Amino acid sequence: MKLHPKAIRFALAFFPIGLVCALYLSLSNINALKQAGMDMAPWLLILLSIVQIGVVYSVILAYFGYLLSERVHVYKPFHFEKHDIIVALTVGLVCAVIMASDYYVFAPYIPQVQQAYENAPFNPVSLLFAMLYGGILEEIMLRLFFLSLLVFILDLLFRRTKRNLPITPIFYVTANILAAAFFALGHLPATKAAFGSLTGLLILRSFVLNGVLGYLFGMLYIKKGLHYAMVAHASTHLFNQVILYLLIL
């Protein structure tokens, strides 16, 4: 298989971010494993995190995501326009409000969530990690790669491109809904780890909060480009912290 030079350059640009996220997450997990009484060589955990996050998530999925996004005509060059940045930041603010609504909609009925808000000190390093991992790496995984892959599969199944027909918009909408649902499902293991078990209300909470946000980020990816989805996703974490610690907590 012949390698695509532009896709390689595109993917390698994200390796430093993946490396930083891998190191932060592995160091956090080392402390968590020690507190849980589990013994694992720190160097092995760091190595596994670098391979998984720094190489697979950041480079390999970015490489194939680039190729897929070009194939299904959703890739757009990383150029920022003032109007589109405002749109992305507005989406980020709306998503932050949706996230903050959790405090009023779900927390009163889920003691674990209520307690999490009460014991949530502000940590700028954790916020930066959330903006980098969520805003950049999750967008590579779920929008650039997974959403584009779903459109590609739909196109193969219905043979639009092979019949010299344009990819129908319903393929993009369907792929976005499925990717958003997968985004919500992807948060369930972390939810279970944080709260000890999964209840029907916790699952509904994940789909309402993360699913809606994932769909909005996907819409930006399709219409404006991956970089604007990244801006929206990263700013969601930032705006959410501002709302929580200035207006709620």
pLDDT at 150 over 70: yes
pLDDT at 135 over 80: yes
Residue 80 tokens read as 């920022």
Q: What is the pLDDT of residue 113?
A: 83
pLDDT at 38 over 80: no
More confidently predicted of 31 and 161: 161
Q: What is the pLDDT of residue 246?
A: 83
Q: Tokens 């639009």: give the residue.
A: 160
pLDDT at 1 over 70: no
Q: What is the residue-averaged pLDDT of the chain? A: 91
Q: How far is Cα 40 from Cα 57, in angstroms, rounded to an integer?
A: 23
Question: Quick one: pLDDT band at residue 100, thresholds 50, 70, 90?
Answer: very high
What whole-number percentage of the chain has pLDDT above 90?
Answer: 69
Question: Quick one: pLDDT band at residue 33, thresholds 50, 70, 90?
Answer: low
Q: How far is Cα 236 from Cα 130, in angstroms, rounded to an integer?
A: 10
Give the max Cα distance, the chain.
Answer: 60
Question: Quick one: pLDDT band at residue 40, thresholds 50, 70, 90?
Answer: confident
Q: How far is Cα 26 from Cα 172, in angstroms, rounded to an integer?
A: 35
The arithmetic mean of pLDDT across residues 210-219, rounded, is 95
Helix or strand holding residue 28 (H, E)? helix 15-35
Most confident of the following: 103-107, 143-147, 201-205: 143-147
pLDDT at 124 over 70: yes
More confidently predicted of 36 and 60: 60
Q: Assign 3-state DSSP to the chain and report helix, strand, coil percentages, each to 5.
A: 80, 0, 20
The arithmetic mean of pLDDT across residues 160-189, rounded, is 92
- Of 215, 213, 222, the residue nearest 102 (C-alpha): 213
Long-range interactions of 87-90: CB distance < 8 A, separation 24+: 87/220, 87/224, 87/228, 88/220, 88/224, 88/228, 88/229, 88/231, 88/232, 88/235, 89/231, 89/232, 89/235
Handedness of CA 99, 105, 106, 110 (dihedral sign): positive
Q: How far is Cα 223 from Cα 111, in angstroms, rounded to an integer?
A: 39
Question: Quick one: pLDDT band at residue 74, thresholds 50, 70, 90?
Answer: very high
Phi, psi of 110 (to 5 degrees): -125, 100
What whole-number percentage of the chain has pLDDT above 70?
Answer: 96
Q: What is the pLDDT of residue 116?
A: 80
- State the CB neighbour count (10 A cutoff) for residue 132: 19
181, amino acid identity: A
pLDDT at 35 over 80: no
pTM: 0.93
Q: How far is Cα 17 from Cα 60, in angstroms, rounded to an integer?
A: 14
Q: How far is Cα 26 from Cα 232, in angstroms, rounded to an integer?
A: 26
pLDDT at 181 over 90: yes
In sequence order, the 6+-apart residues with CB closer than 8 A to the CB of 200 are: none
Lowest mean pLDDT among 7-11, 36-40, 64-68, 99-103: 36-40
